[in-house]
Chains A and B, each alone.
Chain A
Amino acid sequence: MGNGFDLIALLGEPLQYSFMQRGMFAVLLIGAISGVVGCYVVVRGMAFFGDALAHSILPGVAVAYITGGDLFLGGLAAGISAAVGIGWLTREERIKEDTAVGVVFAGMFALGIAIISTAGSYSVDLAHILFGDVLGVGESDLTMIAALGVLALGATLLFYKEFLILSFDAGLAQTLKLPGEALRLLLLALVAVTIVASLQTVGLALMVAMLVTPAATARLLVRRLHHMMIVAGLLGALSGIAGFYFSYYLDIPSGPAIVLTVTVLFLAVFGLVQIRRR
């Protein structure tokens, strides 16, 4: 009985303050959204692209940070520019896609760091952007995260079967006269929106783990894409909350705390699956 009481106190303590409640709600939402959208990243083999896109939004975020503009809009603008830039470099297959992604991603990231270093409190600001600062989630930020989440999950529901066909057999999408190129761009936009929404809680540097790890864990457990999305969404939300507490009690940034949680979960499931196969 005493233990139960302690646990409640332990879980309740960080939530005395409204900014902490907002932070926890934010990580829960982000975990769920990136778990679901990340399933496409995993089945389509877009992990490198996702990582690159997350890093590429730094210059937009940096400019917004310095000028006091909206971080989400800055990030979204930079993310779209990066995606269009990669598309332009790879047209007619002049450069391989992963090469173009590498060039653009490193260049944009360097530009972002250069811009941030012109600001006074350089290292603190940079750390928050790279590794997340769950305490900095304001009222309007939470609204924005929720709105982006509804957008991403709504699009996933509405276009589920088309995205499935496009990912499994792009040839069939074309034979069925589905607008393949538009669907592909929409899917990239979904990933970009998810990354921008996760900016404050997870941070850019580790964002790819939220997209890839819960989805990869779910893939080990189920064999249909929509089941994978449900499991990945739940794992993401759970890891978000667990990471939130680790961050509070161990005094580490929220991003690494959440990412370490999803990583440990993945390793545990991977191990269990290996043992069961024997």
Chain B
Amino acid sequence: MTVKTPNILQDSPDGASCPALTVHELSAGYRGARRAIQDVSFAVMPGERIGLFGPNGAGKSTLFKAVVGLIPHDTGHISMHGQDCRTSHDRVGYVPQAEEIDWSFPVTVRDVVMMGRARHIGWFRWPRRRDWETVDALLDRVGMLAFRSRQIGQLSGGQRRRVFVARALAQETDVLLLDEPFSGVDAAAEEEIFDTLDRLRDEGVSVVLATHDLGTATRRFDKLLLLNRALVAFGPPQSVFTPEALRKTYGGQIGVFQNGERSIIVMDEHGCPGDPCE
């Protein structure tokens, strides 16, 4: 089945509001390998919140890593505010999955956020008072200022994510990519993360967020991006969240039952389709 590729240039409503992030026909990952993605296109408007959904192995992390330049992409374009990202990856803020970080590392919350400012500080220099003030202001924005002197590992899962959001903002970006920020986090912490993201949205920060939790999909996001190696669907929840699109994304492992206006979705614990998940 072929998937219609949205035409980014025409989909932009007008010249005045140019997308914050544009990904055009992106293919990345080792050829033939699991988690490789092909021909993914979407655009994120300023202040939009996009939910990235797909089963394990669908290439959600691969997509993020290609956009921030952690893995090379062989074809496609990535641009921010119309500027090619090959030269400006440092402007996309990326919050990695929790298991990629050594939380016992001897750094405080402030030290972690300061890392995002490394390029602004410049080579051979140490942070100055102005940089520390910036870091404290960012911690205030994500509601973590009171914890600034804690060792990073002393924080809860949700607090760690918010500190990493502040670190991404320290790169002076207005586009954030969050990879599974809710894994290992309780419902209250999830709510706090969404509160932080709500506040950032008011400031014009765009967010793409990968998650397994389909329950939040219709309420929490402006648009949904369904991915299974290729883009299955992209658009507002009402038009994307269809039984057909979900079956295409999650394969046979998902059951969708129609009950009048309401859909009931049943899926296995890991959201694994039969095929690509082994």
Q: Please tell me if the beta carbons of B106 and A162 are within 8 angstroms of each other in the complex.
A: no
CB neighbours of A22 from chain B (8 A): none
Please, which residue of chain A has its CB at the minimum distance from the CB of B93? A175
Interface of A is mostly: helix
Q: A177-B69, A219-B106 are in contact. Are A165 and B118 (CB under 8 A)?
A: yes
Please, which residue of chain B has its CB at the minimum distance from the CB of A218? B106
State the CA gap A274–B107 with chains docked (Å).
Answer: 21
Q: Which of A168, A172, A224 contacts B102 (CB 8 A)?
A: A168
Asked whether any CB of chain B lies closer than 8 Å to the CB of A268, the reply is: no
Q: Could you tell me which residues of chain A, from 150 to 181, have a CB within 8 Å of some CB in chain B? A: 158-162, 164-165, 167-169, 171-172, 174-178
Q: Please tell me if the beta carbons of B106 and A225 are within 8 angstroms of each other in the complex.
A: yes
State the CA gap A178–B116 with chains docked (Å).
Answer: 12
Q: Could you tell me which residues of chain B, from 94 to 143, have a CB within 8 Å of some CB in chain A? A: 94, 96, 100-102, 105-108, 111-112, 114-116, 118-119, 121, 123-124, 126-127
State the CA gap A222–B105 with chains docked (Å).
Answer: 11
Q: Please tell me if the beta carbons of A176 and B118 are within 8 angstroms of each other in the complex.
A: yes
CB neighbours of A175 from chain B (8 A): 68-70, 89-90, 92, 94, 171
State the CA gap A168–B92 with chains docked (Å).
Answer: 19
Q: Please tell me if the beta carbons of A161 and B69 are within 8 angstroms of each other in the complex.
A: no
State the CA gap A169–B90 with chains docked (Å).
Answer: 14
Q: Please tell me if the beta carbons of B115 and A174 are within 8 angstroms of each other in the complex.
A: no
CB neighbours of A178 from chain B (8 A): 118
Max count, chain A CB within 10 A of own CB: residue among B105, B112, B119: B105
CB neighbours of B102 from chain A (8 A): 168
State the CA gap A224–B94 with chains docked (Å).
Answer: 23
Closest chain B CB from A224 CB (angstroms): 6
Asked whether any CB of chain B lies closer than 8 Å to the CB of A187, the reply is: no
Q: A174-B69, A223-B151 are in contact. Are A169 and B101 (CB under 8 A)?
A: yes
CB neighbours of B171 from chain A (8 A): 175-176
Q: Please tell me if the beta carbons of A158 and B124 are within 8 angstroms of each other in the complex.
A: yes
Q: A165-B115, A175-B94 are in contact. Are A223 and B124 (CB under 8 A)?
A: no
Q: Please tell me if the beta carbons of A172 and B115 are within 8 angstroms of each other in the complex.
A: yes
Q: Please tell me if the beta carbons of A160 and B126 are within 8 angstroms of each other in the complex.
A: yes
Contact with A along B38-71 (1 / 0, CB 8 A): 0000000000000000000000000001001110
Q: Please tell me if the beta carbons of B90 and A177 are within 8 angstroms of each other in the complex.
A: yes
State the CA gap A186–B20 with chains docked (Å).
Answer: 37
Q: Which of B70, B106, B123 contacts A223 (CB 8 A)?
A: B106
Q: A43-B105, A169-B96, A171-B70 are in contact. Are A162 and B112 (CB under 8 A)?
A: no
State the CA gap A169–B92 with chains docked (Å).
Answer: 16
Asked whether any CB of chain B lies closer than 8 Å to the CB of A228, the reply is: yes
Please, which residue of chain A has its CB at the minimum distance from the CB of B171? A176
Please, which residue of chain A has its CB at the minimum distance from the CB of B119? A176
Please, which residue of chain A has its CB at the minimum distance from the CB of B90? A176
CB neighbours of B105 from chain A (8 A): 43, 167-168, 225
State the CA gap A219–B126 with chains docked (Å).
Answer: 22
Closest chain A CB from B69 CB (angstroms): 6
State the CA gap A176–B116 with chains docked (Å).
Answer: 8
Q: Please tell me if the beta carbons of B94 and A171 are within 8 angstroms of each other in the complex.
A: yes
Max count, chain A CB within 10 A of own CB: residue among B106, B115, B124, B167: B106
Please, which residue of chain B has its CB at the minimum distance from the CB of A160? B126
**Selected A-B contacts with CB under 8 Å, 20 pairs:** A43-B106, A159-B124, A160-B126, A161-B118, A161-B121, A167-B105, A168-B101, A168-B105, A168-B112, A172-B116, A175-B92, A176-B116, A176-B118, A176-B119, A177-B90, A219-B106, A223-B108, A223-B151, A224-B106, A224-B107
Beyond A159-B124, A228-B106, 13 additional pairs, beta carbon < 8 A = A161-B126, A162-B123, A164-B111, A168-B102, A168-B105, A175-B89, A176-B119, A177-B89, A178-B118, A223-B106, A223-B151, A224-B108, A224-B111
Seen from chain B, the residues whose Cβ lies within 8 Å of a Cβ on chain A are 65, 68-70, 89-90, 92, 94, 96, 100-102, 105-108, 111-112, 114-116, 118-119, 121, 123-124, 126-127, 151, 167, 171
